[in-house]
Copies of this chain bind each other. A is one copy, B any other.
Amino acid sequence: MAFILTFLGKGGVGKTTCAIASAKQLASDGQRVLLASQDSSPAFGLLLGQSLGSEATLIENNLWALQLQSAKLLEKSWEELKDLERKYMRTPFLKNVYGQELGVLPGMDSALALNLLRQLHGQYDVIVFDGNGGQDSLRMLGTPEVVSWYLRRFRQVFLDSDLGRTLGPFIPPVAAAVMNVNWAADNFSQPTQEIDALLEQGKQSISDPNRAAAFLVTDGQPASHATARYLWGAAQQVGLTVAGVLVRGSGGEGFAPLPGLAIPSTQDWPSLMAAMPDLSLAKTAPQAVSVDVAQRRVSLFLPGFDKTQVKLSQSGPEITIEAGDQRRNLFLPPQMAGLPSTGAKFQDGYLIISF
């Protein structure tokens, strides 16, 4: 299973340069590395020094690289979906639409990139993901967490609703008419369980410091500093470990307890490679969430925000934390699920909620 490494920061601070330098460094250390860029323009090839395609190409010893192209990925995913349709549907109709026709809508870039990372996971030791490096990258990595919330919340609401009960009698004949199965409760529980397992795997990969980490990148500009601090907090909201801050020029203050690493302002690969951080730093970085079942307490690390920028609410069955334009719903262990919160305090960058 590959370690997912990514870089966060304002545009122009050198995230792509860091991604390339890290990939080169890790490959030269003997790791099998995939460098995957979400930039489909020729700019990525110019920085890398060679042009690339949408398939992984070996560019150095142990180092493969590709540029994600959503139009192509969508075409491929569509053909896979049609295979599933042929298998499960009595009267397939998607078969009359071709992958080569499909336009790319907002959100598809992220979904397709995440799906590709999942598929390529097993073939590499490290995948260096050069995404947009801002909120969009966090939305992408937060997808398994957020989607699994939507599924558990809406499934329950639907089952409990009049609508669910009203539609109930229609589901068996419709399902039998359109699907290649005889209706039974079991026929739906299997795909449902598969999706749940997939999302659970995704959530665990993103939030495990042995499996994924981000580094912040900043230069001397105040706006770059503010962006890096904001993304630091927003990353915690999707459960991603931020393991350190790479500083070009000055401006590494305000990120304690993260280690700050100076990086040179050159495009000289050997010096850049030597300045790249060790992935094991992720293991000692603060974790986004820790749950203390005995004390009935949850601590959320939310650096870069003050008390007024963090909103805690409970309108549904779970506690919701809103900060950094991200919303996170706390899925608690069975011993604590459903307990009302008895208090919350904001201390040293941690939001501590008692139950």
Q: Which residues of chain A have a CB within 8 Å of any CB of chain B? A: 10-13, 39-43, 46-47, 69-71, 89-94, 96-98, 100-111, 132-136, 139-140, 142-143, 145-147, 149-150, 153-154, 157-158, 160-164, 166-167, 170, 173-174, 177-178, 222-224, 226-227, 230-231, 313, 315-316, 318, 320, 322, 324-329
Oligomeric state, in number of copies?
Answer: 2
Contact across chains for A98 and B322 when beta carbons are under 8 A apart: no
Contact across chains for B223 and A146 when beta carbons are under 8 A apart: no
Partner of A11, one of B10, B89, B90: B10
Contact across chains for B105 and A327 when beta carbons are under 8 A apart: no
Contact across chains for A153 and B97 when beta carbons are under 8 A apart: yes
Given A10-B12, A71-B327, A103-B149, 9 other A-B contacts at CB below 8 A?
A39-B134, A40-B230, A90-B166, A91-B161, A103-B328, A104-B327, A106-B140, A107-B110, A132-B136
Contact across chains for B71 and A226 when beta carbons are under 8 A apart: no
- Whole-angstrom CA separation of A46 from B223 in the bound complex: 6
A100: chain B residues at CB < 8 Å are 313, 315, 320, 322, 327
- Whole-angstrom CA separation of A25 from B69 in the bound complex: 38
Contact across chains for B42 and A230 when beta carbons are under 8 A apart: yes
A157: chain B residues at CB < 8 Å are 93-94, 96-97
- Whole-angstrom CA separation of A11 from B109 in the bound complex: 18
Partner of A231, one of B41, B46, B98, B318: B41
Residue of B nearest to A233 (CB): B41
Contact across chains for A41 and B101 when beta carbons are under 8 A apart: no
Tell me, rounded to whole Å, the shortest Cβ–Cβ distance linking A267 to chain B: 10
A104: chain B residues at CB < 8 Å are 139, 146, 325-327
A107: chain B residues at CB < 8 Å are 105-108, 110-111
Contact across chains for B110 and A106 when beta carbons are under 8 A apart: yes
Partner of A167, one of B43, B98, B153, B177: B177
Partner of A136, one of B136, B146, B326: B136
Tell me, rounded to whole Å, the shortest Cβ–Cβ distance linking A7 to chain B: 12
Contact across chains for B154 and A97 when beta carbons are under 8 A apart: yes
- Whole-angstrom CA separation of A240 from B352 in the bound complex: 48
Contact across chains for A103 and B41 when beta carbons are under 8 A apart: no
A224: chain B residues at CB < 8 Å are 43
- Whole-angstrom CA separation of A349 from B61 in the bound complex: 39
- Whole-angstrom CA separation of A325 from B72 in the bound complex: 8
Partner of A143, one of B71, B105, B324: B105
A46: chain B residues at CB < 8 Å are 222-223, 226
- Whole-angstrom CA separation of A30 from B320 in the bound complex: 44
A40: chain B residues at CB < 8 Å are 135, 230, 324-325
A143: chain B residues at CB < 8 Å are 105-106
The 6 A-B pairs of least Cβ separation, nearest first, read: A12-B12, A11-B11, A107-B107, A106-B110, A93-B161, A91-B162
A177: chain B residues at CB < 8 Å are 166-167, 170
A133: chain B residues at CB < 8 Å are 11
Tell me, rounded to whole Å, the shortest Cβ–Cβ distance linking A355 to chain B: 18
In the complex, 16 of the A-B residue pairs with CB atoms within 8 angstroms, ordered by the A residue number, are A10-B43, A41-B227, A43-B224, A43-B226, A93-B158, A94-B157, A100-B327, A101-B320, A103-B329, A104-B146, A104-B326, A105-B139, A106-B140, A106-B143, A132-B132, A170-B177
